[in-house]
Structure 1
Amino acid sequence: MLKHNLGYPRIGIKRELKKACENYWNNKIDCKQLFDIGKNIRQKNWNIQEKCGLDLIPCNDFSFYDHVLDMSFLLGVIPKWYLENPIIHHNNKIDLYFSMARGIQKNGLDIKAMEMTKWFNTNYHYIVPEFKKNQNFFIFYKKIFNEFEEIKKNIKKQPKPVLIGPVSYLFLGKENKKTFHRMDLIENIIPIYVKIIKKLIFQGAKWIQLDEPILGLDLSQKEIEAFQYGYKIITQECSSNINILITSYFDDISENLYLLKDIDIKALHIDLIEDPDQLDIVLNFLKEKKIILSLGIIDGRNIWKNNYVYSIKKIDKTIKILGEQRVMIAPNCSLLHVPLDLNYEINIHKDIKNKMSFARQKIDELNDLYNIIKGNKNILLKNFKILEKTKKSFLIHDKKIQDKIKNIDINNNIKRKNSFNIRKIKQHKNFQLPILPTTTIGSFPQTSEIRSLRKKLKIKKISQKEYDNQLKKFIIDVIRKQEKINLDVLVHGEFERNDMVEFFSEKLKGCLSTDNGWVQSYGSRCVKPPIIYGDISRNGDMTVQWINFAQKNTKKLMKGMLTGPVTILKWSFVRDDQPIYHTAYQIAFAIREEVKSLENSGIKIIQIDEPALREGLPLKRKKWKSYFNWSIKAFRLASSIVKDETQIHTHMCYSEFNDIIEYISDLDADVITIETSRSKMELLNAFSDFSYPNEIGPGVYDIHSPRIPSVKEILDLILKVTNKFPIRNIWINPDCGLKTRKWNEVIKSLINMTKAAKIAREQLKK
């Protein structure tokens, strides 16, 4: 029985990769120093996994920005406007790579970043490949081959190169023109995959992992044909010389098993965390074949200790049917989605910490399961006792909260008093805003000064009063900046907040924040997901103090800023001992109380952000209804308590809306702001085709890139929007919050945005 891993976190225990990339972008280190830091992280990761007893250790799972972008770089899928600019071709191609991810604006060169969206139903963002008709694929970058040579020198165990499979890679991309279907490119891409695999075989590779998470989806006929064609050739050309492992995760693959019927692969990996019920179907399919089954039985997306009793039952059943030689064990997906090492956490109550497991511990759990199978029952007993003890902890269960939720009639608490058309008239009368009102999404740059101030408070170098006085100065300053820029609806900047979810977790009972539980969201952007370990309740006002202070210092409207219940849920590590919708309703009720407090204090516009609503969607369409049933109720439970005159905004970013637009409409937010600039407003088509009835703020500038959009560029996007929606229903705003940007970028970009809005107003009057 082989133990292996699908992928390991690449940020470093102290976020070394984040710091290195940002230092490189700011010209503080050169590319050699950047590459040395990357090499050091990789080697530490390989050594950890080898010491933990893995038999197959992944390589090529490291990335300086994004593994999908790495795949595009490997295959030469580089739009010509990047490739044809010699100014970004130096430094071992790394500048070209980063320009695709971040855009570039220097020496007269101005190129936008490539589109970015969510990796299936996770909070990880990837750079979307852009294909042209008759795309020519070729080996452009040799990272995978270099890292294979590197790992061979550093470990004694068998390295396992990891690649995104050809069908999933094509699926994740988009056509630059709608004159062809990207799956038609399968005949072009497969020869290059064969060439890559054969080169790895020549280097000594015995195993290769081809990730095909597309197998967990409802496949179209073109996707089915592409898979059958692609793997028929790959296996014919390569399987006699290398062990091919096809991995799928995030959902069950039982409905697509037939695609594996006539292809010669060594092993198949399935996700038994997301859908344990598929095991019987898969075993029945494989029992007459020679394929090894890899059981994804360690949760790579949550931080709770594995239940060994449960896992051993799955392993025993598989061994009984297939035999031990045809069984592998692994996490269900890459460990990219969890923090690195629980040993670096010193402030978590032992009752909770004993139940937890980060990436390093999850590798140990694989070894534990192997040893239990080999006869060490003491490990099984110890695991059982730990999990039983935590079930009874007073920290987890609060009967008062449970009773409160049980006594709520959810269906009678999720409706506004009147329809949007009635609310809109009242709001427009009260607010007296111009057409195309301008605003931002919420946060403003969190400078080193602000982060230092927060750290000083944490280690008690300054008092709470000193901290508060400094925050007041920051808030007044950002108000004056917004007034000078001439924004119509202001925000307070969120300087008191470390993260849009973590901030609330620190103020809710039943949640905790970690010291070093960092997870990559995109590029150098890392987040510390809170841990929801128990029943949730609000101890008191969470945001009212600072929003009210801001409102008192301006005559303009100030938005109250909250994170929605679904996003708090989805961007946290959630307790696994009760249905997820129970936890969602508990969070929603806490946010509902905060919304009411904001309204009672005089705040007239309240934004409840739900960027995670789309990413939480199950991959299989048959599961959507159940998900939206509780997720929309949770949002409306949080938002529907206000009067007609109070305007509710929500924000979503980097999501495909075409197939869920009716559900988005059911949220009944007065205004929705969305990311659209990277996609050149393509994402807006879903709202336009649906005739979205409420107000909408399509993002007109990309905040995930350092480049500053021109007035003309923004104006063109605004005018594009006015052709799709009634003018009185349109807001003008950036794609997302401005926390990660620098002030000089923000000020110039927002000035251009307000200038463009003013020009558009004048043009539309004529």
Structure 2
Amino acid sequence: MKLVPTSSLGFPRIGPNRELKFALEKYWKGTISQHDLLQVARSVEDAAWALQVGLTKITVGDQYLYDFVLMMTESLGMVPKRFAHLPPGIDRLFAMARGVDGAPALSMKKWITSNYHYMVPEYDETSQIHADFSRFLEDCRRGVATLGADCATPVLLGPVSFAYLTKISAPGVSRSTLVDLLLPVYEALIQELVGLGVKEIQIHEPCLVFNDPSINPLLDAAYPKILAPDVTINMVSYMDDVGDTNYQWLMSAANGIHVVSLDFTRGDTLALVQKYGATKTIGCGLVDARNVWKFDPATALPVLKCLVDKGVIFRIQPSSTLQFLPWTVEREDKLIAESHPALQVLAFAKEKLQEVARLAKVAGCLLDGEDSEHLLSDHESAWKSFVESRQTSQSSSVRDRLQAVQPSDFRRSTDYLERRKQQLKGLPALPTTTIGSFPQTSAIRRVRAAWKKGLLNDAEYQAAMDQQIAYCIGVQETLGLDILVHGEPERTDMVEFFGEQLEGILFTQHGWVQSFGSRCVRPPVFWNDISRPFPMTTREFKVAQSLTEKPVKGMLTGPITILNWSFPRIDISGKDQAFQIALCIRDEIRDLEEAGCIVVQVDEPALREGMPFRTAERDEYLNWAVDAFRLSTAGAKSETQIHTHMCYCEFQDCMHAIDRMDTDVNSIENARSDNATLKAFKSIGYTKGFGPGLYDIHSPVVPSRDEIEAKLRSFLTVLDLDQTVVNPDCGLKTRGWPETIAALRNMVEATAVVRNELSTCLPCSM
């Protein structure tokens, strides 16, 4: 059997027990040293390397402390002027990520179509390139010593993608200018890597998936200029196909690239290979690095047969870095003890390595003309058994209800202008609120842990949570907020909380995935049809509302966010899964209304991140995604005010879709941004309620009252007074109580000052 090479594109960075997360948080609190932090990072990297031994190529230099774009920013020394006074190094990197006094953090955005976040590089009028890649080179040197020069493969974020992602505000500087400034640095860095003895370097250019003609001149300027003649260059792109133009560029002999790694699990990469052929080695990303299912032989085998038939030279690898997956299924004791039907077809990062090895053997058989069925039989039987077990547990009621949905189910009973007259009468202009969550304290976590261990019964646990709710309401009453929240002490995560209560969704014990920095999430796994067996939030709402005369928001997560922040099924469409969730949320809103709720927030921060790059696919996605949201909310009474919340994404290419969601109030992340987003919404005629974030909740810095006043005044130069709602950027669960109270006090006081300036304390109908 012919040996087919294998490669990794990266492994989870947080460790099997979230070691890096906890080390980061200890370092930020000052309880461990920088040396201790780096030791933890290296131990996690060592564990990842040990699991990958056996692959032909293993990545090195990619154990980042926050995110890989930020690491490149710091290594280049390309800091905006507000951080220029700080000495280079890890502490400056964290300052750019989290902010320091007088210096707001870099903007944060979602990474291509994922729930991973990256810090947006900035190039202003004072920025310069002062490169220092000594830590990166030391990590690569350590990788070479551990894995060998033939195997260890350094990873670089390519200059074109870095420039493409950078926010440029310096006069006369364009992306092209920035690329020109970066080229000498990359050229020297690649030469240093060659000096370590490595035989291959991965250059990740994820911008290749974007359908943007301005990318090609930048690529031509960079390649092969920065490349060395005596090292193999593997250019990597992922999360979609690269399109016709970029594929042809990749296959050009003129660019100096030897290996082209592509995602065969999304988009239509195979069609590009069939259409244009492949003149270079293809890194066949056939093992899905974005979902937790084992490969389906019925899908994988035709791809391999096509590559073999066309004579393509290829290697087998995951579709992207495995950082988007949990560490291993082996630690899921509960699922194993239950013999859950899905367990036989689940594969996390460690298991994906086994999937790579299995497909490499299948490919070897195909190349030698040998039978490969014996290598696939257990996969086929596992999938068959899983599908059969799912069918026996499915109920036709979910699908019957979806088939009965009518066009009227997607429309509110009255239009916005008529509804707003009936909603939340008596509130002042510029009503103040928060996005939903309050600090998840160590006391809350201890109570939750005791309850899960059986040390507290349900009644005792609920009583403890009710005390936390009472405290949250008391704080908000004292501060003078206008629309209150119950604080969500019972919720570990905005998706996990709902997923645990819905049928057809399973949860892991240790399935943690990094979202950004030390923030980790545990995505649900959709394995069956989804339904809601009982109300999920009404008990806590009733407790909170009983403690105040002010309106308390019902807090829900929208269907698209639950879908996009989960590992979905692969046998039915995303639309069908979103609509199933939408019906559950629709029923929950009805129950909240019956409990006396008159304002409900249905968060959809993930609406934009699931949007495809190609126009036709994008329009189709936005149509059904917005329909799913409307199916969730359209059953609400006219007097019920529906809010939503969106954060950390580009809104410009989906604003009309957001308008079509027909919410009464939309709050967005805006504290790290200027007013460009507000102006863009205004330009499309957006007239509904709007709550742009006044301060950055991801920074430990407490904004002053003067800063918030200035920000609010700037909002009112764009927004109408009667459409503006005052709120922070996002939920406050990651902050401590002292800074939360201080920041909200400043927000409420700043709002009062602006109200008085405008001489408008009259009630509005917002």
The 5-angstrom pairing of residues 204-603 of structure 1 reads 204-221=197-214, 223-235=215-227, 238=228, 240-255=229-244, 256-260=246-250, 261=252, 262-275=254-267, 277-287=268-278, 289=279, 291-323=280-312, 326-348=313-335, 349-375=339-365, 377-394=373-390, 397-409=394-406, 411-427=407-423, 430-603=424-597
Q: Which amino acid aligns with 1:707?
A: V
C-alpha deviation, 1:82, in angstroms: 1.4
Percent of aligned positions that are identical = 37
What do residues 372-409 of structure 1 show as CA deviations (whole Å, max 9, x unaligned)? 23346433111111011111114663222111111212
What do residues 304-346 of structure 1 show as CA deviations (whole Å, max 9, x unaligned)? 11113432321232123235xx211111111111111000111
Task: State the secondary structure of the residue aligned to 1:431.
Answer: coil
C-alpha deviation, 1:466, in angstroms: 0.8
The 5-angstrom pairing of residues 653-692 of structure 1 reads 653-692=647-686
Task: State the secondary structure of the residue aligned to 1:34.
Answer: helix
C-alpha deviation, 1:550, in angstroms: 0.4
TM-score by length of 2: 0.95
Q: Is the 8 A contact 1:680 1:717 kept in 2?
A: no
RMSD: 1.5
- Whether 1:147 aligns to 2:139 is yes
Q: Is the 8 A contact 2:561 2:603 kept in 1?
A: yes
Q: What is the aligned partner in structure 1 of residue 151 from structure 2? A: 158
Task: State the secondary structure of the residue aligned to 2:555.
Answer: strand
**Correspondent of 1:100 among 75, 86, 96:** 96
Task: State the secondary structure of the residue aligned to 2:511.
Answer: coil
C-alpha deviation, 1:700, in angstroms: 0.3
What do residues 143-183 of structure 1 show as CA deviations (whole Å, max 9, x unaligned)? 22111111122224611111111111111111134654333
Q: Which amino acid aligns with 1:373?
A: A
Q: Which runs of 4+ in 1 moved over 6 A?
A: none
Q: Which amino acid aligns with 2:409?
A: N
Q: Is the 8 A contact 1:396 1:533 kept in 2?
A: no
Q: Is the 8 A contact 1:135 1:188 kept in 2?
A: no
Task: State the secondary structure of the residue aligned to 1:84.
Answer: coil
Distance of 1:684 and 1:63 partners within structure 2: 34
Q: Which amino acid aligns with 1:437?
A: P
Q: Which amino acid aligns with 1:359?
A: A
Higher alpha-carbon deviation: 624-633 or 248-257: 248-257
Q: Which amino acid aligns with 1:422?
A: E
Distance of 2:596 and 2:288 partners within structure 1: 45
Q: What is the aligned partner in structure 2 of residue 63 from structure 1? A: 64
- Whether 1:19 aligns to 2:22 is yes
- Whether 1:73 aligns to 2:74 is yes
Q: Is the 8 A contact 1:135 1:185 kept in 2?
A: no
Distance of 2:607 and 2:681 partners within structure 1: 16
Distance of 2:176 and 2:486 partners within structure 1: 47
Q: Which amino acid aligns with 1:568?
A: I
Name stretches of at least 5 consecutive residues in structure 2 with no aligned partner: 366-371, 761-766
Distance of 2:34 and 2:757 partners within structure 1: 48
Q: Is the 8 A contact 1:216 1:620 kept in 2?
A: no
The 5-angstrom pairing of residues 727-738 of structure 1 reads 727-738=721-732
Q: What is the aligned partner in structure 2 of residue 645 from structure 1? A: 639
Q: In 2 relative to 1, CA 179–650 (structure 1 residues): closer, same or farther, beyond 3 Å?
A: farther
Q: Which amino acid aligns with 1:58?
A: T
- Whether 1:635 aligns to 2:629 is yes
Q: In 2 relative to 1, CA 641–309 (structure 1 residues): closer, same or farther, beyond 3 Å?
A: closer
Distance of 1:418 and 1:691 partners within structure 2: 19
Q: What is the aligned partner in structure 2 of residue 713 from structure 1? A: 707
Q: Is the 8 A contact 1:340 1:517 kept in 2?
A: yes
Q: What is the aligned partner in structure 1 of residue 369 from structure 2? A: none
Higher alpha-carbon deviation: 677-686 or 591-600: 677-686
Task: State the secondary structure of the residue aligned to 2:526.
Answer: strand
Give the number of equivalent residue pairs.
743
Distance of 1:622 and 1:171 partners within structure 2: 23
Name stretches of at least 5 consecutive residues in structure 1 with no aligned partner: none
The 5-angstrom pairing of residues 82-231 of structure 1 reads 82-85=83-86, 93-105=89-101, 110-132=102-124, 136-156=128-148, 158-177=151-170, 180-221=173-214, 223-231=215-223
C-alpha deviation, 1:5, in angstroms: 1.1
Distance of 2:605 and 2:32 partners within structure 1: 34
C-alpha deviation, 1:77, in angstroms: 1.3
Q: In 2 relative to 1, CA 537–122 (structure 1 residues): closer, same or farther, beyond 3 Å?
A: same
C-alpha deviation, 1:684, in angstroms: 2.2
Distance of 1:552 and 1:129 partners within structure 2: 47
Q: Is the 8 A contact 2:81 2:124 kept in 1?
A: no
Distance of 1:76 and 1:220 partners within structure 2: 29
Task: State the secondary structure of the residue aligned to 1:423.
Answer: helix
Q: In 2 relative to 1, CA 134–166 (structure 1 residues): closer, same or farther, beyond 3 Å?
A: farther
TM-score by length of 1: 0.95
